């Protein structure tokens, strides 16, 4: 898996969070686990886009839920549905907000 790959995990996920995005650097791709966060279907009232940036996957809009970051076994990531490298700046900004408050 590459950084910012969006995967459909092989384990059961909540209906509103069908995908995970790999956040971990490619330099650590040899590890058995990776750091990922869910992509949740957008609800109309959610509007804090700095911490939960909207992204598009397979024609549907999701919010990256960086507050739910976790480690996941690489073997359970499933198929790659997309790669969001084009959204790198907004994803890194969300992580910066989470970890440093900036």
The arithmetic mean of pLDDT across residues 12-32, rounded, is 95
Domain coordinates of the chain in residue numbers? 5-100
pLDDT at 47: 65
Whole-angstrom Cα distance, residue 28 to residue 17? 25
Taking 70 as the threshold, does the pLDDT of residue 82 lie above it?
A: yes
Taking 70 as the threshold, does the pLDDT of residue 76 lie above it?
A: yes
Token digits of residue 4: 């910012």
pLDDT tens-digit series, residues 26-62:
999 899 999 999 999 987 666 667 889 999 999 999 9
Beta partners for residue 76, in sequence order: none
CATH fold for domain 5-100: SH3 type barrels. (2.30.30)
As to burial, measured by CB atoms within 10 angstroms (0-12 exposed, 13-18 middle, 19+ buried), residue 100 is exposed
pLDDT at 42: 80
């Amino acid at each position: 898996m590459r950084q910012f790959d969006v995967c459909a995990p092989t384990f059961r996920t909540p209906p509103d969070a069908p995908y995970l995005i790999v956040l971990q650097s490619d330099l650590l791709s040899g590890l058995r686990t990776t750091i990922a966060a869910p992509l949740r279907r957008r609800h109309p009232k959610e509007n804090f886009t700095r911490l939960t940036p909207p992204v598009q996957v397979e024609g549907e809009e999701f919010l990256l839920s960086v507050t739910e970051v976790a480690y996941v076994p690489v073997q359970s990531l499933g198929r790659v549905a997309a790669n969001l490298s084009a959204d790198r700046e907004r994803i890194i900004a969300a992580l910066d907000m989470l970890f440093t408050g900036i």
